[in-house]
Amino acid sequence: MCCCSISHFIFYLLNTFIWFTGLSTLGIGIWLLVDSDIQQALTVSGLEDYTAGAIVFVVVGSIIFLVGFIGCCGVHNKKSSLKIMYIIFLGGIFAAEIGIGIWALENNTSLESKINSNMNVTGTLLNKTTDSNYKELEQSFECCGATQGCIDWELESKSFGCECNTTSENCVPVPANCLSNSTRIYLQPCSESIYNVLSQNLLVVGGVGIAFSAIEILAIVMTLFLLCCDNKVGSG
């Protein structure tokens, strides 16, 4: 009985982590959906379909939080049916998170080539009238142009939105083959800046998803042990 009492404490501790997992997943999903910089980066880089991933995060996060509540009710009220439901749902969430983690890590390897392909402006240079959406992106991500920097802009557009006044290595005097209304512009192409931001986020998502899956396995094992404890008490 002492082991069963300790198991209850461990379960509640693990379930607290699972609740935190749910809230974190929900928060990440909402952040990805409402962050204007991220949404603009996805639009310019032609990765709008990644928004579906943010929606999945919101749905999965909400389900995880509700499942954690079911688990607590099952253990507190000693309801075997709720514990079994908790195990089934948690197993499904575990599989989903592993899938999300693998998807994130696999997509990270091909992300750079996708961004470069979608943003390539060879043959059709950027124009400040038709591509005015670049200006906010360039200032937010401290970058210039699409995949090659300021030379992606027509000379008449004068490296639109690339101006800077910082002392960083990325803020350089205007190259001889470009024009600008400023004396200094950002050096890094926006494709690189977008890749760096999205790549870091994908790695975090993949790593966190796999790490939280380990906690869920422990919670499943602990719930099975508590079911055995309930059966022993009932048979006793």
State the Cα–Cα distance between residues 177 and 162, nearest whole angstrom. Answer: 14
Selection from 94, 91, 87, 92 nearest residue 224 by Cα:
87
Is there a contact between 144 and 188 (Cβ–Cβ < 8 Å)?
Answer: yes
pLDDT at residue 12, rounded to an integer: 83
pTM of the shown model: 0.76
Neighbouring CB atoms inside 10 A of 182's CB total 14
Q: What residue spans define the domains of the chain? A: 2-120+198-235, 134-190
* Alpha helix segments (H runs only) across 164-189: none
Q: Which amino acid is at 139?
A: Q
Give the residue carrying structure tokens 């032609």: 46
Per-residue pLDDT tens, the chain, 236 aa: give them: 567 778 778 888 888 888 888 888 888 889 888 888 888 888 888 887 778 878 888 888 898 888 888 888 877 777 788 888 888 988 888 887 777 777 777 777 788 888 999 898 766 789 988 888 888 899 999 999 999 999 999 999 999 999 999 888 999 999 999 999 999 999 999 999 999 988 887 777 777 777 778 888 888 888 888 888 777 655 54
Contact 178, 159 (CB under 8 A): yes
**Do 24 and 232 contact (CB within 8 A), yes or no?**
no
Query: What's the pLDDT at 184?
Result: 95
